[in-house]
Amino acid sequence: MTRRFAGRSVIVTGAGSGIGRATALRFAAEGASVLAFDLTDGADATAAEIVAGGGDAEAMHGDAGRDADIVRLVERAVARQGGIDTVFANAGISGGLAGLFEQSAEDFAEILRINLIGPFLAIRHAAPHLIARGGGSIVCTASVAGLRAGAGGPAYSASKAGVINLVQTAAQQLSGTGVRVNAICPGLIETGMTRFVFDQARAAGKGERIGELTPLRRGGVPDEIAGAALFLASDEASYITGHALVVDGGLSSSHPFRRPREIGKTTL
């Protein structure tokens, strides 16, 4: 395997499960020193798996939307490796599917705090250290829900739309520094956050219908998002910044509609 990140210092938030865990493992497999950050003990399991496989990793616990915790995270990364080369600001919550008139202002604010303020804090506190290294890459997890309605609850969708604009704004603010800032917009990916959707469909005997509104006719897996994250973080994406890369099986290429079972037959 090509070790694209050999000798590089990488932070991954939300590394305890799902997309964050898969990406942390991939970074480590390609030579990175990984600081796996999560609110849960899952960060310990991720770091332990990396170390058991001969990689370099350390776990830290904290809240990705809390300023003091991100300051502490950045300081630890610098202390471990002398600097930071890559940040994957991935931590987030779904907040459920409550509608505009069912969701409280407090819940709405909490979702934005973690999903949008979290990436802002990661960029704000880590970017100066990337600049000091001569440049680097920050990748934030957004969502197809941030592109248009219909893929998530109101607060979640608004927070992810904010992430897309945040990376565009940050890319401009960091112009000339060598720091690239991009986002990934996953579609329906089976993670701890979305597993209830998959479980309900399978329990109802409808597992074959998962992802039927995508051209690829399936849901995705975390490793498919990890591959995109590593691409954006790598030198292969050296001319990409301020971009939101959609990885959704084609879902957002059209407004979703229920397709007929037989190809060639269209119901209007």
- Please write the tens of the pLDDT for every residue from 108-135: 999 999 999 999 999 999 999 999 999 9
Q: Give me the torsion for CA of 136, 228, 66, 145, rounded to 10°.
A: 130
Crossing angle of helices 154-173 and 105-112, in 10° steps, is 30
Query: Residues 34-90: pLDDT tens digits?
Result: 999 999 999 999 999 999 999 999 999 999 999 999 999 999 999 999 999 999 999
pLDDT of residue 151: 78
What is the per-residue pLDDT for 19?
97
Place of tokens 């070790």: 3
Burial code (b: 16+ CB inside 10 Å, e: under 16) for 11-28 equals bbbbbbbbbbbbbbbbbb
Average pLDDT over the chain, rounded to whole?
90
pLDDT at 65: 98
**Which pLDDT band, with edges at 50, 70 and 90, does 251 fall under?**
confident
Which tokens in the block code for residue 64? Answer: 């990705």
**CA 126, 164, 240 angle in degrees (round to 5)?**
70
C-alpha of 112 from chain center: 15
Spatial contact of 191 and 19, defined as CB atoms under 8 Å apart: yes
Among 84, 159, 168, smallest CA distance to 116 is for 159
Torsion angle of the four alpha carbons 172, 89, 114, 243, in this order, in degrees rounded to the nearest 10: 40
pLDDT interval class at 193 (50, 70, 90): low
Say whether pLDDT at 196 is over 70: no
Contacts of 194 (CB under 8 A, 6+ apart): 94, 188
The set of residues, in sequence order, having a beta carbon less than 8 Å from that of 220 and lying 6+ positions away, is 186, 187, 188, 189, 190, 211, 247, 248, 249
What is the set of domains in the chain, with CATH numbers?
9-189+221-246 (3.40.50.720)
Sheet strand arrangement including 136-141? 56-61, 33-38, 9-13, 86-89, 136-141, 179-186, 244-247
156 is known as an active-site residue: yes
pLDDT digits (tens, 9 = 90+) for 232-250: 999 999 999 999 999 999 8
* pLDDT tens by residue, 68-77: 999 999 999 9
Which among 17, 146, 156, 246 is annotated as catalytic? 156
Check residues 79 and 256 and name the one with the higher pLDDT.
79
Q: How confident is the model at residue 197 (pLDDT cuts 50, 70, 90)?
A: low
Helix (H) or strand (E) holding 50: helix 42-52
Band of pLDDT at residue 265, cut at 50, 70 and 90: very low
Min mean pLDDT across 3-12, 191-200, 239-248 is at 191-200
% of residues, the chain, pLDDT over 90:
72
